[in-house]
Amino acid sequence: MTLDKLAEFIDNVRRGCAADGHKSCGGSGVCETARALVFGDFNGFDAGRIGLVHRDGWPCPSWPAAALLRMIKDDVDDIAATSSRYRAMRLTEALSELAMRGLSPDAVMRTWLGPRLVRRALELIVFYCRGERGLDRGELPLRLCAMRFLEELTEDERCNASIPELMARVNESDIFHSVREWCESASIADLVDFRVEGYRQVEVLDEDLVVAAGEDATVWLCERLASTHLESWSGSSLAWELAYLDDPDGTAELMGVKKDVIRERAVGLVPVLDEITRRLHDFGVIGSVIDGLSNKQVVDGVVSLLRGGLIGDAVDLARRAFRRSPGDSRLAVVLARCLMAVDPEYARLILMDMLHDEVPQAVLVDLATLELSEGNVMDSMRYLGPVDVDDVDGWYWDPLDYCEHRMQFRYFVGNEWYERAVPALEGAASRLADS
């Protein structure tokens, strides 16, 4: 019997028991408990809706932990939504409320939101450098950091680099290490205020960074209350949810937080197992493809290595990720793109294997580049047929340089890639006509 069939059977038993005045369960409610264990919340938990309901309020003891965590997450994501002083005061109050329930500010801001804080600070620095947004007086430390980053850029980068290229550049710069150190050692007040320059360093105790059960348990607690959809959970959070479903009291005891915090949401066995099955079927792994690195960090790492000309290292990293998750089409494209520099035939095999009803545009662009490099104009144009050549955004090998055996990996926007491909197409067509 499949899990779905078992779940359907339990739900039918519950319905029958309810229709019979709960005679079967003797009025104990065990039928409803069994249904909740299998399916989770009856009315559906929605962290986004909880956040909207409390969006304009002021954190207080009556707020559920889910509302506090969601507010903190949303304020970090949208630093420009409120004035820096008001935002800092609200965040501080919300963190104080969570601390009263056993979840420390360090656990929330550094362990759970640390990577998000670093990424958001770097994005704001890049946006400021490109003139995409200003920074108010309360964000002067970010502006100073941005000015420091501008000094590291070449004149061409300052004038012409796209935002993705600047993001790749800032991730390779000293600014990245400075911002990460800020996240690890700045006071909580300086974190909530995004004071990345001139901040006060504090000693952060290991026990303050996590709940009693450790780092993964800390992330699980925050994710289950602030993220509705299990697709966004880490693999370890799914494992902790299974442990909680099997032994709620024992798991809650391990956490060291008030049990009411965990009880704010019931997830259910079926949704958790469905998500685990989906990940294994689609990707071959439940969590990160490489321990300690998210899939995005793997891709960013490959981009950085290719930009720096470290092609062998990029191939090794992409291969490690692809072997762990052969069903991940994005990682397949990343590996093929690395191999285009050292083993074009193998790259072609990987890309050809992805030709199906809904072919990612990136696959067609890379195949067109490979064919063009061999002078196969008609095949190259055939692959470009379904491609909107005026809207090719992403990291690619420069097609003209690639055909001339010069490897330049860069970010293209709009029709930039096609403008570089046209001279290569014309040259190949001319050589074909002369032969």
DSSP output for 6-18: HHHHHHHHHHHHH
For residue 313, being part of any structural domain is answered with: yes
- Average pLDDT (193-214) is 91
H-run or E-run covering 235: helix 235-246
Same domain, 308 and 372: no
* Most confident residue range from 66-80, 157-171, 206-220: 206-220
For residue 280, being part of any structural domain is answered with: no
Q: Tell me, what's the pLDDT at 150?
A: 86
For residue 292, being part of any structural domain is answered with: no
Helical pair 248-255 and 235-246, crossing angle rounded to 10 deg = 120
**Where does the pLDDT of residue 215 fall: very low under 50, low under 70, confident under 90, or very high at 90 and above?**
very high
Q: Tell me, what's the pLDDT at 81?
A: 47
Task: Please say if the pLDDT value at position 338 is more than 90.
Answer: yes
Same domain, 306 and 365: no
Same domain, 363 and 435: yes
Show the tokens assigned to 81.
């939504």
> pTM value?
0.79
DSSP 8-state secondary structure symbol assigned to residue 355? -
Higher pLDDT, 293 or 205: 205
Task: Please say if the pLDDT value at position 399 is more than 70.
Answer: yes
Same domain, 324 and 365: no
For residue 135, being part of any structural domain is answered with: no
| 3-class DSSP state of 173 | coil
DSSP output for 64-114: -HHHHHHHHHHHHHTGGGS-HHHHHHHHHHHHHHHHHTT--HHIIIIIITH
Higher pLDDT, 220 or 297: 220
Q: Tell me, what's the pLDDT at 209?
A: 95
Task: Please say if the pLDDT value at position 233 is more than 90.
Answer: yes
**Where does the pLDDT of residue 14 fall: very low under 50, low under 70, confident under 90, or very high at 90 and above?**
low
The answer to whether the beta carbons of residues 354 and 363 sit under 8 Å apart is yes
Q: How many helices (H) and strands (E) does the chain have?
A: 26, 2
Question: Which residues, 6+ apart, have CB-to-CB distance to 164 below 8 Å?
Answer: 395, 411
Task: Please say if the pLDDT value at position 62 is more than 90.
Answer: yes
Same domain, 340 and 414: no
Higher pLDDT, 324 or 61: 61
Rounded Cα distance, 242 and 236, in Å = 10
Task: Count the domains in the chain.
Answer: 3
For residue 398, being part of any structural domain is answered with: yes
Same domain, 362 and 435: yes
The owner of tokens 């960090």 is 297
The answer to whether the beta carbons of residues 219 and 234 sit under 8 Å apart is yes
Rounded Cα distance, 407 and 402, in Å = 6
% residues pLDDT > 90 (the chain): 54
Q: Tell me, what's the pLDDT at 398?
A: 96
Phi-psi region of 291 (alpha: psi -120 to 50; beta: other; left: phi over 0): beta
Task: Please say if the pLDDT value at position 138 is more than 60.
Answer: no
**Where does the pLDDT of residue 137 fall: very low under 50, low under 70, confident under 90, or very high at 90 and above?**
very low
Which of 344, 370, 400 delimits the end of a domain?
344
- Residue 131, class by beta-carbon neighbours within 10 Å (0-12 exposed, 13-18 middle, 19+ buried)? exposed
- Average pLDDT (61-87) is 84
**Where does the pLDDT of residue 158 fall: very low under 50, low under 70, confident under 90, or very high at 90 and above?**
confident
Maximum separation of any 2 CA atoms in the chain, in Å = 91
Show the tokens assigned to 217.
């348990």
For residue 13, being part of any structural domain is answered with: yes
Rounded Cα distance, 195 and 216, in Å = 27
Q: Which domain holds residue 12?
A: 3-39
Same domain, 366 and 398: yes
Nearest CA to 136 out of 199, 84, 191, 88 is that of 84
Higher pLDDT, 264 or 81: 264
Task: Please say if the pLDDT value at position 362 is more than 50.
Answer: yes
Rounded Cα distance, 414 and 416, in Å = 6
For residue 159, being part of any structural domain is answered with: no
For residue 32, being part of any structural domain is answered with: yes
Same domain, 397 and 323: no
What is the overall mean pLDDT for the chain? Answer: 86
